Chain A
Amino acid sequence: MALLEVENLRTRFATDRGVVRAVDGVSFTLEQGEVLGLVGESGSGKSVTSLSLMRLIREPPGKIEADKLVFDGVDLLKASESTMSSLRGGKMAMIFQDPMRSLNPVLTVGRQLTETLRRHLRLDGDAARRRAIELLEMVGIPLAEKRLNSYPHQFSGGMRQRVMIAIALSCNPRLLIADEATTALDVTIQAQIVDLVKRLTRDLGTAVIWISHDLGLVAGLCNRVNVMYAGRIAETGSVRDVFYRPSHGYTVGLIGCTPRVDRVGAPLTLIEGRPPDLIRPISLCPFLPRCAVAIDACNKTMPAMNTIEAGHAARCHADLSVFHQKGAA
């Protein structure tokens, strides 16, 4: 059985201007130990999807609906707030984008680590402390024991993100959601964090949802990718399928505007225009106004999710095989 099953997830927000459909019909499953990438530009619904999974959306003004939302055998839609509280930080954990702001500035790092350990694993003071030291060592913080008494501002951004990862992993979660976890960090630190996450998923069997707009990073880290646009999944497939055989106009555009070291000097393309207003009802492909490869059919009907090959599907009318790299490994 899959660890996480999401079927037709819809998250809406009531605003003064109308209802914003931030996530509109997202479906996917996640197996244990799998690393799933969620890519797309700002406002495509990546973060709202992940916050919805943890039911961290404030209701109201938000509203989460789904045909199915089951995590590790628990129906998240019907779960009580206390069930959710014991899942969060226990079986499902999350790392946020801004490490400078995701730790409480007035509490020591040790206190913030042990707080979660005490709550979920019911460890007493000493045991929690020992485990906290272990965790800090695991994420590569030197002199872990004395660093427990440090405050967040005494750490650099990369160190803080390691601390956040240590806290998130402290109770051996089955699912780790990383929301732009390395976006605020420089590339060397980013590489270290990615290595760390890779090692941890391998050693602990944690499933990861990695949200990013950095395609290179996702390609190196994930098994599968969901490309999101306008609150929907535009394309889904294995990393190789999606990057070498992109089958949605938006994916093609995204890949085109990613700089690559093996194509130094090649021009970067641009996706003109802006993402659609999610208050307006969507009847055609939401990417149509910006699409470079649109065909006649696009102006007539909304494309359905077409299976291209096993495990690879896209919501696109156009035949994009010209963009596919033949024989690419």
Chain B
Amino acid sequence: MADLAATRLSDKEDDFRPAGGLQLAARQLLRNPAATIGFAVLTLMVLAAIFAPLISPHNPIQIKLSAKLQPPSAVYWLGTDHFGRDVVSRLIYGARVSLSVGLLVILFSFSLGVPIGVLSGYVGGRLDATLMRLVDAFLTFPPLLLAVAIVGLLGPDIQNVMIALGVVQAPVLARLVRASTLAAREETYVTAVRALGASPTRIIVGHVLRNVLSPIVVQLTIGFSAAVVSEASLSFLGLGTQPPQPSWGRDLAEARRFMTDAPWLFLAPTLTIMLAVLSINFVGDGLRDALDPRSWVTRRRATQEADD
């Protein structure tokens, strides 16, 4: 009942204060507890990565063999690795690599995959056929193998890992966007907007793209998670982050040798990766709902029906 009163109150707010769609969507996002928590966790992680030199208790790459493989203690909160390096500090510095890989990879695949998908779906015809065969060609490779091949060509380096993972992910996104665009293109409101004199660019950006945003956001959050994990795999193969630079994936790969002797060593990066991936998925889910005004009411109705 209290919940209902709260939603009614905020309804009134919506009614009398002019609010843009963006504001309404943001308000909706914050109404979702999982998304709010995910957003908070991610913010903390990003802040930690930015201010790493200020907050990490130890130097993440300084070798101190006298303190190797120590269990968690007051000095080393999460213990030390086989070179005596502080795990907490390595996680904090590792966030720089892992988070920027995740972010840049989805940026890259977004800026490559979305235009290809939208053009292909909206324009159709020969352009569609050409672009999609190209996309198909990329999709035939096993994703990790393609990434390995690209990094192999460009040289082992973290930037190249981002490019490779972006190239691997873009075709998947392009396919998804094309499919959603094909469906959106045939909607009556697209014809209606054309009948009102909107230019093709305006229709694509303002109407079609806006309507396929939800699946894109979901795919991007999956892509973020996949990028963090793939970076780990590539670093494990020696193609990504080079030692002694810390990255969550690298550290996890190294820790597997000490699984029985020093379980904190692999638990720490594992749980951190898990937390990051979970948070981004929560935010993604929240965004998907917040971006679709139709789902706002469903929730409101659900509360009302439960009350009635």
Give A310 to B165 CA distance when docked, in angstroms. 75
Query: Which residues on the B side are within 8 Å of A120 (C-beta)?
Result: 197
What CA separation (Å) do A87 and B198 show in the bound complex?
10
| B154 interface contact, C-beta 8 A | no
Q: A90, B210: Cβ atoms under 8 Å?
A: no
CA A116 – CA B199 in complex, angstroms?
A: 11
Q: Interface residues of B, CB < 8 Å — how many?
A: 30
Check B195 against A153 for contact (C-beta < 8 Å). Answer: no
Contact B196 A106 (CB under 8 A): no
The interface residues of chain A lying within 8 Å CB-to-CB of B191 are 56, 96, 102
A105 and B192 contacting across the interface, CB-CB below 8 Å:
no
* Cβ B197 vs Cβ A106 within 8 A: no
Per-position contact with B for A46-61: 1 when CB-CB < 8 Å, else 0?
Answer: 0000000010100000
In this assembly, does A107 line the interface, its C-beta being within 8 Å of a C-beta of chain B? yes
Q: List A contacts of B211 (CB < 8 A).
A: 104-106
Verify A151–B196 contact, CB threshold 8 A: no
Given A106-B291, A146-B16, A149-B19: A101 in contact with B197 (beta carbons within 8 A) = no
A180 vs chain B, min Cβ distance (A):
12
Task: Find A102's partner among B189, B198, B293, B294 (CB 8 Å cutoff).
Answer: B189
Nearest-CB residue, chain B, relative to A100:
B188
Decide if A39 is an interface residue (CB 8 Å cutoff).
no
Task: Name the one of A98, A119, A149, A167 contacting B18, with C-beta atoms under 8 angstroms.
Answer: A149
Interface residues of A in 256-274 (CB under 8 A from B): none
B192-223: contact bitstring with A at CB < 8 Å (1 yes, 0 no)? 11111111000000110011010000000000
Nearest A residue to B297, CB-CB: A153
A101 touching B189, Cβ below 8 Å: yes
Kindly state whether residue B187 has any CB partner on chain A within 8 Å. Answer: yes
A292 to B207, CA, bound (A): 49
Distance in angstroms between the alpha carbons of A115 and B21 in the assembled complex: 14
Tell me which residues from 308 to 325 in chain A have a Cβ below 8 Å from any Cβ of chain B: none
Q: Which of A97, A116, A154 contacts B196 (CB 8 A)?
A: A116
Q: Which of A37-85 contact B (CB under 8 A)?
A: 54, 56, 82, 84-85
Q: Are B293 and A119 in contact (CB under 8 A)?
A: no
A131 CB-CB contact with B under 8 Å:
no
Q: Name which of A98, A102, A111 has the most chain B CB atoms within 10 A of its CB.
A: A102
Sorting the interface of chain A by its residue count into under 10, 10 to 19, 20 to 34 or 35 or more gives: 35 or more
On whether the beta carbons of B189 and A88 are closer than 8 Å, the reply is: no
Are B194 and A115 in contact, CB atoms less than 8 angstroms apart?
Answer: no
Write the chain A residue with the least CB distance to B15: A146
Task: Say whether B293 contacts A85, CB under 8 Å.
Answer: no
* Secondary structure class of chain B's binding surface, majority of residues: helix
A102-B192, A104-B210, A111-B21 known; A153 vs B294 contact (CB < 8 Å): yes
Given A106-B210, A154-B297: A119 and B198 within 8 A (CB)?
A: yes
Kindly state whether residue A94 has any CB partner on chain B within 8 Å.
yes
Q: Which chain A positions have C-beta within 8 A of B197?
A: 84-90, 116, 119-120
Q: Are A101 and B188 in contact (CB under 8 A)?
A: yes
Q: Nearest residue in B to A104 (C-beta to C-beta)?
A: B189
Q: Mark B16-32, 1 if CB is under 8 A from A, else 0.
A: 10110100100000000
Task: Please measure, in the bound complex, the distance between the C-alpha atom of A108 and the C-alpha atom of B15, giving whole angstroms.
Answer: 13
> What residues of chain A lie closer than 8 Å to B293, measured between beta carbons?
105-106, 108, 151, 153
Q: Which residues of B contact A153 (CB under 8 A)?
A: 293-294, 297
- B14, CB-defined interface residue at 8 Å: yes
Task: Return A9 CB to nearest CB of chain B, in Å.
Answer: 18
Q: Output the least CB separation between A59 and chain B (Å).
A: 12
Of B188, B189, B206, B296, most buried by chain A (CB within 10 Å of CB) is B189
Say whether B128 faces chain A, with CB atoms less than 8 Å apart: no
A residues 110-127 touching B (CB-CB < 8 Å): 111, 115-116, 119-120
> Could you tell me the distance in whole angstroms from the C-beta of A50 to the nearest C-beta in chain B?
10
Among B189, B194, B199, which residue has its beta carbon within 8 angstroms of that of A103? Answer: B189
Q: Does B157 contact A (CB under 8 A)?
A: no
Q: Are B206 and A98 in contact (CB under 8 A)?
A: no
CA of A86 to CA of B199 in the docked complex: distance in angstroms?
9
Smallest CB-CB separation from B293: which chain A residue? A151
Residues of B near A164 (CB, < 8 A) are 192
Nearest residue, chain A, Cβ from B296: A151
Q: Does B289 contact A (CB under 8 A)?
A: no
Cβ of A103: which chain B residues have Cβ within 8 Å of it? 189, 192
Contacts A102-B189, A151-B293: A107 and B196 contacting too (C-beta < 8 A)? no
Q: Is residue A93 within 8 Å, beta carbon to beta carbon, of the partner chain?
A: yes
Contact partner, B206, options A115, A148, A149, Cβ 8 Å: A115
Please measure, in the bound complex, the distance between the C-alpha atom of A54 and the C-alpha atom of B196, giving whole angstroms: 10
A90-B197 Cα distance, complex, nearest whole Å:
7
Considering the complex, which residues of chain B in the window 1-49 have a beta carbon less than 8 Å from any beta carbon of chain A? 14-16, 18-19, 21, 24
Chain A's closest residue to B189 (CB) is: A104
Whether A88 contacts B196 by the Cβ 8 Å rule is yes
Q: Point out the residues of chain B lying under 8 angstroms from A111, CB to CB.
A: 21
In the complex, what's the smallest C-beta–C-beta distance from B181 to chain A, in angstroms? 14
B21, A85: Cβ atoms closer than 8 Å: no
B14 surroundings in chain A (CB, below 8 A) = 149
Cβ-defined contact, B189 with A89, below 8 A:
no
Q: Which residue of B lies closest to A85 (CB)?
A: B197
Distance A86 CA – B194 CA, assembled complex (angstroms): 11
Q: List 10 A-B contacts (CB under 8 A).
A: A84-B197, A85-B197, A102-B188, A103-B189, A104-B207, A106-B21, A106-B293, A107-B21, A151-B293, A151-B296
Interchain residue pairs A-B with the least CB separation, the first 5: A89-B196, A89-B197, A88-B197, A151-B293, A101-B188
A interface list, Cβ under 8 A from B: 54, 56, 82, 84-90, 93-94, 96-98, 101-108, 111, 115-116, 119-120, 146, 148-149, 151, 153-154, 164, 167-168
